[in-house]
Amino acid sequence: MDKITFIGLGNMGAPMAKNLLKAQLNVEVFDLNPSAVQELTELGATSADSLPQAVQGANVVITMLPASQHVQSVYLGEGGILDSVESGTLLIDCSTIDAETARDVSAKSHQRGYGFVDAPVSGGVAGAGAGTLTFIVGGSKDDFEQAKAILDHMGKNIFHAGEAGAGQVAKICNNMMLGILMSGTCEALNLGVENGLDPKVLSDIMLQSSGRNWALELYNPCPGVMENVPSSNGYQGGFMSQLMAKDLGLAMEAAVASQSPTPMGSLARNLFNFHNSQGNGQKDFSSLYEFYQKEK
C-alpha cells in the first residue's frame, strides 16, 4: 500500500492524520514532540526517529507546520525532505506560509523531480477532526489531481486556486477577513454586554440579522455562549492568537508588494499584536474578546 508520511502533529495535524488512519491508509508520522507522535502510533501509525527515515519510501509527504521558517528548514534544510525522498514523491504542504516561500519550495521540488502543492486549510480544529476542512490548493493541474485524492480523506471542499503559491494568497485573504470579523464580533458582543444585554440573546439576534458571520455562528468568542468552542474552555486549543498575528502579517506583506490598501487588516493586525504582547499569544485567537473587557 502507498505510504503517506505526515509531519507536524499539532492542533491541526494530529486530527488530520487520524482521518487518514480512519480511511485505512498506511501512515507514518514525525514530530519534534514525542507525545504527539505517541498519540498517533497508539492509533496505528508507524513512526521514525528522524525526518529522513520518516520520509524514506513515502509516496506522499504531508506537512502541517507553524510558519514559513519551519517549512523552509523541513523541506530545504540539510537532511530535509528534498534531500531524503525518492523521485516521483508528491509533497503537500498544508501550513499557512508566505506565497514566496511556497513558490520557492515548489520550484526546488520540481527541479528534483517531485510534485508539490501548497494546500493551506480553513475550518479550524473542529473541521480537521470532522474531516470537513476546506483545502485551498496552488500547483499544476496534475499535482492538484493527485493531491485531491488524498485531501478528500481530510476535507469536504478542495479548491484549485491556481499555480504554485495561489493557495497561500487565497488563504491569507480569507484569514485577513477572519481576523477583521473576529475583532468586530468581540467588539460588538462586549458593547452589548456592557450595555446590559445577555451575550447569548444578543448572539441569537445578530445571527438572524445582518451582523451574522462565521465567528459569531461557529466560534462565539464570549465564554458560555456556545459549547465546544475555545471560549468555553479557557481559550485553550483552537487557533493560537500568535498564528492569527502571523497570518495578518503575511497579508500585510502581500499588501505592500501589490500596493493594495488594507486599512482594516492593518488595524486587526495591531489589535492581535497588542493582545499577544500581553501574554495571550498561545491562547485561541477568540481570546481577543478579553482585550475589550473592562473586567478581565
Q: How far apart are the first and last CA of the chain?
A: 53
Confirm whether 296 is a catalytic residue: no
Under the binding rule (CB under 6 A), the answer on residue 12 touching ligand NAD is yes
Under the binding rule (CB under 6 A), the answer on residue 8 touching ligand NAD is yes
**Site track 65-104 with ligand NAD (rule: CB under 6 A), x = hit:** xx---x---x--------------------xx--------
> What gap in Å lies between CA 66 and CA 120, rounded to an integer?
11
Q: Which of 4, 9, 176, 215 binds ligand NAD (CB under 6 A)?
A: 9
Under the binding rule (CB under 6 A), the answer on residue 173 touching ligand NAD is no
Restricted to residues 101-140, the positions that interact with ligand NAD (CB under 6 A) are 121, 124-125
Active-site position among 18, 171, 246, 283: 171
**Site track 231-270 with ligand NAD (rule: CB under 6 A), x = hit:** -------xx---x---x-----------------------
Q: Are 287 and 239 in contact (CB under 8 A)?
A: no
Please, which contacts does 123-129 make with residues 24 or more away whose CB atoms are closer than 8 Å?
Answer: 123/155, 124/219, 124/238, 124/239, 125/11, 125/12, 125/15, 125/237, 125/238, 125/239, 126/218, 126/228, 127/155, 128/11, 128/12, 128/15, 128/16, 128/19, 128/154, 129/15, 129/18
Q: In the complex, which residues of this chain contact ligand NAD (CB under 6 A)?
A: 7-13, 30-33, 36, 64-66, 70, 74, 95-96, 121, 124-125, 238-239, 243, 247
Residues assigned a catalytic role: 171
